[in-house]
Amino acid sequence: MSCSDEGLSRIASAIVMLANAQCCTSIPGGTGGIQVVVELPGGGQAPLYGSEPPATIPIGTVPDEFDGSYSEYKQAQCDVAHQLVSNWEATLRGLGYINFAQTNGLIVVILGALVGLIVLPEFMIPALIAAALLSVLTQEMWFALADGLEAHRDDIVCAIIQNDTVIEIYTAIANVVETVITELGLSSIQGAALKLAALILVNTNTLNKLLNLSQPASPSSECNCDICSQCLDRIDGSGNVIANLDAPITEWLTLSSEFSQGGWNVFIDVGTGIWLIEWQDLVGWTPLTSPPFYDFNLGQSTVGDVIVSSDFETFSAASALTCISPPATHIGQWGIRSGTAFTVDIKVTACN
DSSP conformation letters of 26-59 = T-TTSGGGEEEEEEPTTS-EEEEE-SSPPPBPPT
- Let me know whether 193 and 284 are in one domain: no
Give the pLDDT confidence of 301-316 residue by residue, as tens digits.
444 445 666 788 888 8
pLDDT digit string (tens) for 48-72? 989 889 988 765 567 777 776 777 7
Number of domains in the chain: 2
Owning domain of residue 281: 231-350
| Packing angle of the helix pair 153-161, 166-184 (nearest 10 deg) | 170
Of the three residues 181, 211, 241, the one that is the final residue of a domain is 211
Task: Find, among 295, 324, 36, the residue nearest to 168 by Cα.
Answer: 36
Residue 147, CB-side half-sphere exposure with 13 Å CA sphere = 9
46 and 186 in a single domain? The answer is yes
Same domain, 100 and 63: yes
Domain match, 196 and 310 both: no
How far apart CA 133 and CA 323 sit, in angstroms, is 61
Q: How confident is the model at residue 75 (pLDDT cuts 50, 70, 90)?
A: confident
Residue 289 lies in a domain: yes
Q: Identify whether residues 39 and 154 lie together within a single domain.
A: yes
Q: Measured at the alpha carbon of residue 267, what is the angle toward residues 263 and 270, in degrees to the nearest 5? A: 170
Question: Is residue 201 situated within a structural domain?
Answer: yes
Say if 106 falls within a structural domain: yes
- Identity at 148, one-letter amino acid code: G
Answer with the residue of higher pLDDT: 334 or 156: 156
**Of all residues in the chain, what percent carry a pLDDT higher than 90?**
25
Give the span between the Cα atoms of 149 and 117, in whole angstroms.
16
Look at residues 163, 180, 211 and tell me which one is the last residue of a structural domain.
Answer: 211
Both 53 and 148 in a single domain?
yes
Asked whether residue 226 is domain-assigned, the answer is: no
CA 303 to the chain's CA centroid = 39
Looking at the structure, do residues 127 and 70 belong to the same domain, yes or no? yes
CA–CA gap between residue 115 and residue 135 (Å, rounded): 24
SS3 282: strand
What's the chain's length in residues? 352
223 located within any domain: no
Residue 194 belongs to some domain of the structure = yes
